[in-house]
Amino acid sequence: MKLLQDLLSGRELEAILFDLDGTLIDSVPDLAAALDASLEQLNYVPAGVNRVRGWVGNGARKLVQRGLAFALEVPEKSLDPSLIDQLLAVFFEHYGEQTCEQTVLYPGVREALTHWHTQGIKMACVTNKPARFSEPILAHFGLQELMPVLVGGDTLAVRKPDPAPLLLACEQLGVAVANTVMVGDSVNDVAAARAANMPVACVSYGYNHGASVADAKPDILVDRFIDLSPGLASSL
Ligand SMILES: O=C(O)COP(=O)(O)O
Ligand SMILES: [Mg+2]
């Protein structure tokens, strides 16, 4: 089995960047509850958690855009941007009230992050979720001490699959991009890592728009988070 370290052709593993939704946390129940409450508030039909699972990963605006296209039964491209903005504002209110009601850390996340932290590996979260929601979520789960750097979906003008958020995280951690590995759950994470010239590992259990993330050809694909740290997995 390949280790994260093996992806660096002999260079030292200095840092790991983590995607948030679908990689560290299962956030879809809260996202779906907030989106459905927003749709219903504006007299649209709710979408339900199973649809929402396929819509997460490209940021909040894209999520509500997909929800609105579903509710109005029209292609996303033909949506009136002012209706998207209206739903987005309502969604922000609802989601802000319930970021961590049903959201949980995936099994093994806390153990593995703690393990890497004690090994002196630096860690950052690079997510397409707006920073004002991501920050309290990391704090809620006590992950900010392990992962002090956060690049959110609105930190820069561009989001994953653009490489810029990954490069900014490396800069803020003070590590070399060449000694850093990305860990995510979707084709966006793989594309951003490739564009940053960074190796990438993926978890198979997350959200990838209903498709298998194996199709995106990450360097490592694991079924459990803890499998990213095999030494730890065998000791648990
Ligand atoms: O689309 C989102 O808001 C979440 O995206 P993430 O998978 O990059 O954390
Ligand atoms: Mg994700």
ipTM confidence score: 0.95
Same domain, 156 and 49: no
Q: How many domains does the chain have?
A: 2
Cα–ligand 1 centroid distance for 128 (angstroms):
4
Q: Dihedral of CA 14/21/109/226: which sign?
A: negative
Q: What's the pLDDT score for residue 11?
A: 94
- Alpha carbon distance 144, 123 (integer Å): 10
Q: How many CB atoms lie within 10 A of CB 224?
A: 14
Cα–ligand 1 centroid distance for 231 (angstroms):
29
Please give the angle made by the CA atoms of 55, 71 and 215, to the nearest 5 degrees.
25
Atom of ligand 1 nearest to the CA of 27: 4
- Alpha carbon distance 25, 164 (integer Å): 23
Same domain, 208 and 226: yes
Q: For a pLDDT cut of 70, what percent of the chain falls above it?
A: 98
- Per DSSP, the three-state class of 26 is strand
N-term to C-term CA, the chain: 18
Is 6 marked as binding a ligand?
A: no
Same domain, 111 and 224: yes
Atom of ligand 1 nearest to the CA of 62: 1
Q: Which of 99, 53, 48 is nearest to 71 (CA)?
A: 48
Same domain, 145 and 176: yes
Q: How confident is the model at residue 229 (pLDDT cuts 50, 70, 90)?
A: confident
Q: What's the pLDDT score for residue 234?
A: 66
Catalytic site residue from 19, 36, 189, 219: 19
Residues of the domain holding 92:
28-97
Same domain, 86 and 186: no
Q: What is the CATH number of the domain that holds 144?
A: 3.40.50.1000
- Alpha carbon distance 184, 168 (integer Å): 17
- In this structure, are residues 33 and 102 in contact, taking their beta carbons and an 8 Å threshold? yes
- In this structure, are residues 44 and 73 in contact, taking their beta carbons and an 8 Å threshold? no
Is 236 a residue whose pLDDT tops 70?
A: no
Same domain, 141 and 32: no
Is 21 marked as binding a ligand?
A: yes
Q: Which residues line ligand 1 (CB under 6 A)?
A: 19-22, 56-60, 127-129, 153, 160
Domain finish residue from 71, 97, 123:
97
Cα–ligand 1 centroid distance for 58 (angstroms):
6
Same domain, 165 and 213: yes
Active site residue 19: yes
Is 162 marked as binding a ligand?
A: no
Q: What is the CATH number of the domain that holds 84?
A: 1.10.150.240
What letter represents residue 74's amino acid?
V
Same domain, 85 and 36: yes
Out of 43-47, 57-61, 92-96, 147-151, least confident range: 57-61
Domain finish residue from 97, 118, 149:
97
Q: Higher confidence at residue 234 or residue 5?
A: 5
- Alpha carbon distance 50, 53 (integer Å): 5
Q: What is the pTM of this model?
A: 0.95
Q: What are phi and psi of 180, to 5 degrees?
A: -125, 145
Same domain, 180 and 220: yes
- Per DSSP, the three-state class of 147 is coil
- Per DSSP, the three-state class of 219 is coil
